[in-house]
Every structure is written in structure tokens, then in C-alpha cells.
Structure 1
Amino acid sequence: MFTGIIETVGVIQSIEKSGTNVDFTIKSNISHELKIDQSVAHNGVCLTVTALKDDWHKVTAVEETLLKTNLGELEVGDIVNLERCMVANGRFDGHIVQGHVDQIGKCTKKEERDGSWLFDFEYDSDLGNVTVEKGSICINGISLTCFNSQDGKFSVTIIPYTMEHTSFKTLQPGDVINLEFDIIGKYVSKLLNKK
């Protein structure tokens, strides 16, 4: 389990196809602290460390993951948000994030707002996912509060610290993003749809 509080970003060093899977080699300042078989969220996708050395680590994404996330669009040199799984005795600073992306969405607007940035996003609401006003949303692994919540769209505001220390610094309108919706909201929605 994760919290959506990004520890650092990594840079894609290589991308290698292996059948229907893709191996990503990522350089980061936490790679040397990782271990084989450890779960690490990459842009909000929980992936297992399969190899590492000094300042890089390798993870594998299977076809299902590549089809349902933005990992298949990554290129060498791109940055990814990284978060190790939560420690049981740590503070819960974000919200419950499983590292299981529900669907992709798209950035539709980026606007500087005198010290912060407003981003608008759209997603396919036919898949049954919802946001609520002032509720939690996970974008590329980042725990955020959404507003302007409507059917298939919402907004977030990004503070300078988040802009500087996550992949939001490179995010532009038209970019595809990973979305993990609030787990409590997903259960409530499922229960209500059963009746």
C-alpha cells in the first residue's frame, strides 16, 4: 500500500521489450536503497524491482499494465514519480493508494495562477469511476485533492513544491496520465450500483 506522497523522481535509462512485457531501467537517488522483489510505485503503478545496481533499478510491466496505464508511452529520458510502499509505523500523509491504476485520463488545461498551477483533467466516466468535490484522487501516483468535480472531469491545484519535485513539472495539455480513484468511493459506487 502507498500514500501518494512522492519520494523522488527517476529518469528512464532504457526500455527493452521482452515478449509482451517491457523492462524499464530507472536511475534515481533511492535506487541504491531498494532490494530485489520490493514493490515500488512508478507513476502510481505498483511494480516489482527485478534487478538493481548502484544508482539504477529495473522493473517489468506486463501487457495488461501497459494497456491500462501510461507506462507504454514512456520514452528514454522521461521522468517518473517514485514511492516505496508505506511502512506500518509511518504517518499517513496522503490517502490510501493501492498502486493499481483504474484507468488513464488526459490533461486538458494547465494555467499558472500567481504561485500555483491549475490543471484540468478528463477521463472516460463510462468505466464507472467517479470523483467528488474535495475528494482524493491519485494522478501518476500523486495524492491530490480534486475540485470542479463533474462527470468525467475534475481540476487540481499544484503548489510549487509539488511542481518542482514530481513529474507535474513536465506535464502538458494532451498528456496521458494514470488515475487511481479513491478506494472508499469505488466501494460505495459498486454497492450503490448493485441495488
Structure 2
Amino acid sequence: MFTGIIETLGTIKSIEKENENIHVTINSSITEELKIDQSVAHNGICLTVVKIENNNYTVTAIKETIEKTNLGKWQTNDVVNLERAMKLGDRLDGHIVQGHVDQTGICKKIEDAGGSIYFTFEYDKSKSNITIEKGSITVNGVSLTVVNSKENEFSVAIIPYTLEHTNFKEFKVGTVVNLEFDVIGKYVARIEQLRN
């Protein structure tokens, strides 16, 4: 379980394919605090640490994860948002994030709003995921509040601190991002589907 509050950034040092799996090695300032078998969210994807060596650690992604996320597009030297699992009893500063990406989205627009920056994302509505105005959304692991909610599109307003401390500063129009929709909203949507 995560909160969507990014702890630090990591840099991808290597990517190795083995059968249907991908092993990703990352350099990060938190590596020395990690343990084998620990869960870490990478751009919102919960992955397990399988190896630690110096300031680098390795995680493995299976086919299902690769197909549902932007992980297959990662390249060496890409920067990823990192968050370790929350500790029981800590403050929940973001919202309840599972680290299970529902689908990807595409950055459609970036607008300077004089103190914040609006990012607009579009997603495939056939997956039955929804957003609501002032509801929560996780974009590349970052807990954000939805503005301008539409059927298959939403915007978020990013403050300068978030821009500086996440990989949002790397986004361009066309960037593919990981989306995790609010877990409560997903249950409500599923109940409605079962009623119809």
C-alpha cells in the first residue's frame, strides 16, 4: 500500500529481457535502505526488489505488468518516481494507492497557469475507469486531485514543488503515463455494472 507521495527519483541503469520478464536496475538515493523482497512503487507500479548491489537495485516485471503499464517503453537513463510502501501508523498525506496500475494514459496538453501547470491526460474509456471532479487519481505514482473531469479525459494542476521533485518535469505532449484510478471509485463503478 502506498500514498502517492513521491519519496525520491531513480535513474534506470539497465534493462534486461528474460523470456517474458523484464529486469530493471535502478540507481537511487534510497537503495542502501532497501531490502530484498521489499515493495517499491516505480511510476506507480508496485515492483519487488530482487537484487541490491552498491547504489543500484533490481526489480522484475512480469508480462501482465508490462502489458498494462508504460514499463515496456522505459529506456536506460529514464527517470522514475519512487515511493516505498507506507508504514502502518504513518500519516496518509496522499490517498490510498495500491501500486496496481489500471491502464495507461496519454498527455494531451500542458498549460502554464501562472503559479501552477495544468496537465491534461486522455485514456481509453472502454476499460470502465472513471474520474470525478476533486477526486483522487494517481499519475506515474503521484497522488493528485482531478480537475476538469470528462468521460475519457481529466486534468491535474501541479505545483512547482511537485514538478521539481517528480518526473512530471520530463513530460511532453504524447508522453505515456501510468494511471491508477481511485480504489473506492472502482468499487462503486463495479457495483453499478453488476446492477445493470
TM-score range, shorter chain: over 0.9
Q: Give ranges in structure 1 of 5+ residues lacking alignment.
A: none
What letter is aligned with 2:95? H
Matched, 1:20 2:20: yes
Structure 1 CA distance, aligned partners of 2:139 and 2:4?
9
Counterpart mapping for 1:25-36 below 5 A: 25-36=25-36
Find the counterpart in structure 1 of residue 113 from structure 2: 113
Structure 2 CA distance, aligned partners of 1:157 and 1:59?
31
Structure 1 CA distance, aligned partners of 2:54 and 2:156?
36
Find the counterpart in structure 2 of residue 189 from structure 1: 189
SS in 2 for 1:155: strand
Structure 1 CA distance, aligned partners of 2:165 and 2:53?
24
TM (norm. structure 2) is 0.98
Contact in 2 for aligned 1:48/1:59 (Cα 8 Å):
yes
SS in 1 for 2:148: strand
Cα drift, residue 30 of structure 1: 0.4
Contact in 2 for aligned 1:32/1:53 (Cα 8 Å):
no
Structure 2 CA distance, aligned partners of 1:11 and 1:112?
27
Structure 2 CA distance, aligned partners of 1:162 and 1:55?
24
Per-residue Cα deviation, 1:24-48 (whole angstroms, up to 9, x for no partner): 0000100110000000000000000
What letter is aligned with 2:180? E
Structure 1 CA distance, aligned partners of 2:63 and 2:189?
28
Find the counterpart in structure 2 of residue 157 from structure 1: 157
TM (norm. structure 1) is 0.99
Find the counterpart in structure 2 of residue 176 from structure 1: 176
Contact in 2 for aligned 1:2/1:85 (Cα 8 Å):
yes
Structure 1 CA distance, aligned partners of 2:25 and 2:68?
20
Structure 2 CA distance, aligned partners of 1:53 and 1:15?
15
Cα RMSD for the two superposed structures: 0.6
Structure 2 CA distance, aligned partners of 1:14 and 1:194?
44
Matched, 1:3 2:9: no
SS in 2 for 1:90: coil
Structure 2 CA distance, aligned partners of 1:112 and 1:150?
20
SS in 2 for 1:104: strand
SS in 2 for 1:75: coil
Find the counterpart in structure 2 of residue 122 from structure 1: 122
What letter is aligned with 1:50? V
Per-residue Cα deviation, 1:45-64 (whole angstroms, up to 9, x for no partner): 00000001221110001111
How many residues get paired?
Answer: 195
Per-residue Cα deviation, 1:101-151 (whole angstroms, up to 9, x for no partner): 000010001112222111000001110000000000000000000110010
Structure 1 CA distance, aligned partners of 2:38 and 2:194?
36
Counterpart mapping for 1:4-153 below 5 A: 4-153=4-153
Q: Give ranges in structure 2 of 5+ residues lacking alignment.
A: none
Q: After the TM superposition, list the runs of 4 or more consecutive aligned residues in structure 1 that deviate by more than 6 angstroms.
A: none
Structure 1 CA distance, aligned partners of 2:11 and 2:54?
14
Structure 2 CA distance, aligned partners of 1:117 and 1:36?
37
Cα drift, residue 193 of structure 1: 1.3
Cα drift, residue 159 of structure 1: 0.4
